[in-house]
Amino acid sequence: MDFLLSADSAGDKLLAMVVAISLFVAVMGILLFAVDRPKNVPSWVVFLAFVGPAGALLVFGLIRPAIITIYQSFFDRTGANFVGFDNFAQLVSTNDLRQVLVNTIIWVLVVPIAATFLGLLYAVVVDRSPVEALAKALIFLPMAISLVGASIIWRFMYEFRADLGDAQQIGLLNQLLVLFGQDPYQFLLNGPWNTFFLIVVFIWVQTGFAMTILSAAIKAIPDDVTEAARLDGVSGTQMFRHITIPGIRPALVVVLTTIAIGTLKVFDIVRTMTGGNFGTSVVANEFYTQAFRQSNAGLGAALATVLFILVVPIVIYNVRQMRLSEEVR
């Protein structure tokens, strides 16, 4: 049964996968069979059989570890000595770590606004065009690409060759710079702008999401309303400001907050593009570095806790907006 814990050939791995799925199906099958067969099983037993497995996993894998992590954030790197708020103080007082916090705030301000703006713009200009489906698919595609893949795509765009004699640029952006008589630029090395060049990657990925949701919202605005406005001689921009924007306001909030939450957790891009070097690290990346590379469990836990604290108000706002609009309904 070795292959179950240490599969190293392709066959063993696939076998382990089949075993895992079969095992899962068998366990669930027996469980459901057990509560279905006998007559008059108490209803709470049936409920437990349905909810229990998921509930147990959530308690084990989300609630419990979250509590442990928050607790650990008050301990030192080994987790043995209580240090109070020292880890958090370190985040604010160390220059490098303060840079991490500042970068995270820049990310979370720029990405949602830029992606939502571009997504809305695109949704409006392609709305009801004959090639709408194709046009949307083009913007949409980056969402299917992993953030690692997206990072490689953009590293290639940013690729730099020193301007020596006849060496040609192979990165498109530097080629354009050279074409316009500028010197090639180290997009990923030179702070503070390198953070913005990383942000571009995530905007590129998230715009499709914003466009999809906002496009659906625009289409849900009743035709009568736009029709009436048009008959009243309302111009295109006025229509946008007074009809479209108010009509899609709740969707805008959902899009902005959802992208903000995703942005806070972005890790793959920073890690793949710069490894968090050159002053580009963010909380989610620094968490990984501290917890699993520097073996500083205390500081890692503190960074994870900060992430948690940053996410909570955005989610609460998001949920409240959803609730509000449901009540009006």
Partner 1 sequence: MSTTDREQGFQPSAAAAPGVKQEDFQEGKRAEAGKLRPRAASTKKRLSNPGASLIAIVLAVLWTIPTFGLVLSSIRPELATKTTGWWTFFADPQVTVNNYNVVLYGGQNNFASYFINTIVITLPAVVIPITLALLAAYAFAWMDFPGRDWLFVAVFALQIVPIQVTLIPLLSDYVDWGLNGSFWPIWLSHSIFALPLAIFLLHNFMKDIPKSLIEAARVDGAGHVKIFFQVLMPLLTPAIAAFGVFQFLWVWNDLLVALTFGAPDTYPLTERLASLVGSRGTEWHVLTAGAVIAMIVPLIVFLSLQRFFVRGLLAGSVKG
The smaller minimum CB distance to partner 1, of residues 230 and 241, is found at: 230
- Binding-site member from 199, 282, 302, 304 for partner 1 (CB under 8 A): 304
What residues contact 71, with CB distance under 8 A and at least 6 apart?
none
Beta-ladder partners of 82: 75
CA 114 to CA 119: how far, in whole Å?
8
CA 206 to CA 204: how far, in whole Å?
6
Tell me the number of residues near partner 1 by CB under 8 A: 137
Return the structure tokens found at 265: 């957790």
Site map (CB under 8 A) of partner 1, residues 246-285, x = contact: -xx-xx--xx--x--xx-xx-xx--xx--x--------x-
Task: Give the interface segment with partner 1, choosing from 88-96, 97-105, 167-175, 189-197 (CB under 8 A).
Answer: 167-175
The smaller minimum CB distance to partner 1, of residues 180 and 329, is found at: 329
> Residue 53, interface with partner 1 (CB under 8 A)?
yes
- Binding-site member from 83, 143, 189, 234 for partner 1 (CB under 8 A): 143
In the range 183-212, which residues lie near partner 1 by CB under 8 A?
204, 207, 209, 212
Shortest Cβ 8–partner 1 spacing (Å): 5
- Per 3-state DSSP, the chain is made up of helix, strand and coil in percentages (nearest 5) of 75, 0, 25
CA 308 to CA 63: how far, in whole Å?
13
Q: Nearest-CA neighbor of 72 among 322, 289, 298?
A: 298
Shortest Cβ 255–partner 1 spacing (Å): 8
Shortest Cβ 213–partner 1 spacing (Å): 4
Shortest Cβ 83–partner 1 spacing (Å): 16
The smaller minimum CB distance to partner 1, of residues 110 and 145, is found at: 145
End-to-end CA gap in the chain: 57
Residue 75: phi and psi, rounded to 5, are -120, 165
In the range 117-136, which residues lie near partner 1 by CB under 8 A?
118, 121-122, 124-130, 135
> Residue 76, interface with partner 1 (CB under 8 A)?
no
The smaller minimum CB distance to partner 1, of residues 195 and 289, is found at: 289
In the range 56-75, which residues lie near partner 1 by CB under 8 A?
57-58, 60-66, 68-70, 72
Return the structure tokens found at 180: 């316009």
Q: Nearest-CA neighbor of 264 among 325, 323, 305?
A: 305
CA 327 to CA 329: how far, in whole Å?
5
